[in-house]
Amino acid sequence: MRLRRVLLVVLLVGGFWWVTAHLPEQLGRIDLLNTGGSKSPLTLTEAQAAPAYDSDEQNNIAVYKKALPSVVNITSKSMTFNFFYGQVPQEGQGSGFILDKAGHVLTNFHVIADANRISVRTSDKHDYKATIVGADKVHDLALLQITGQNLQPVTLADSTDLTVGQKVYAIGNPFGLNGTMTRGIISSIRSIRGPEGGPIEDAIQTDAAINPGNSGGPLLNSRGEVIGINTLIASNGVEQSSGIGFAIPINTAKAVLGDLTKYGRVRRPSLGIVSLAIGPDIADQMGLPAESGVLVQKVVPGGAADRAGLHGGNQQAYLGNMAIMMGGDLIVQIDGKEVADTSDIAIIMDKRQPGDTVTVTFYRGRRKMTAKLTLGEGHDVNT
Q: Nearest 5°: phi and psi at 137?
A: -65, -35
* pLDDT higher than threshold 70 for residue 47: yes
Give the range with max mean pLDDT: 60-74, 198-212, 320-334, 339-353: 60-74
What separation in angstroms does the CA of 356 have from each of 304, 326, 349, 376? 11, 29, 10, 8
Q: Average pLDDT, stretch 27-33?
A: 47
Report d(CA 169, CA 206) in Å as an integer: 9
How many residues are there in the chain? 383
Query: Residue 292 has what DSSP assignment?
Result: S
Q: Contact 357/374 with Cβ under 8 angstroms?
A: yes
The lowest-confidence range among 16-25, 121-130, 275-284, 298-307 is 16-25
Q: What confidence tier does 307 reach under pLDDT thresholds 50, 70, 90? A: very high
**With pLDDT > 90 as the criterion, what percentage of the chain qualifies?**
59
Q: What confidence tier does 33 reach under pLDDT thresholds 50, 70, 90? A: very low
Q: Contact 300/306 with Cβ under 8 angstroms?
A: yes
Long-range contacts of 280-284, Cβ-Cβ distance < 8 Å, separation of 24 or more: 282/319
* pLDDT higher than threshold 70 for residue 141: yes
Q: Average pLDDT, stretch 131-143?
A: 94
pLDDT at position 298 is 94
Q: What confidence tier does 240 reach under pLDDT thresholds 50, 70, 90? A: low
Q: Average pLDDT, stretch 126-153?
A: 94
Active-site residue list: 110, 140, 215
Q: Average pLDDT, stretch 247-273?
A: 92
The lowest-confidence range among 50-59, 224-233, 292-301 is 50-59
Q: What is the pLDDT of residues 76-132, one digit of tens each?
A: 987 565 555 555 556 789 999 999 999 999 999 999 998 889 999 999 999 999 999
The more confidently predicted of residues 90 and 177 is 177
Report d(CA 176, CA 256) in Å as an integer: 29
**With pLDDT > 70 as the criterion, what percentage of the chain qualifies?**
84
Query: Model-level pTM?
Result: 0.74
Q: What is the pLDDT of residues 93-105, one digit of tens each?
A: 999 999 999 999 9
The more confidently predicted of residues 253 and 49 is 253
pLDDT at position 382 is 59
Residues 336/340/341/347 CA torsion (nearest 10 deg) = -40
Q: Average pLDDT, stretch 167-183?
A: 95
* pLDDT higher than threshold 90 for residue 304: yes
The lowest-confidence range among 16-25, 239-248, 309-318 is 16-25
Map 9-30 to HEC letters: HHHHHHHHHHHHHHHHHHHCCC
* pLDDT higher than threshold 90 for residue 266: no
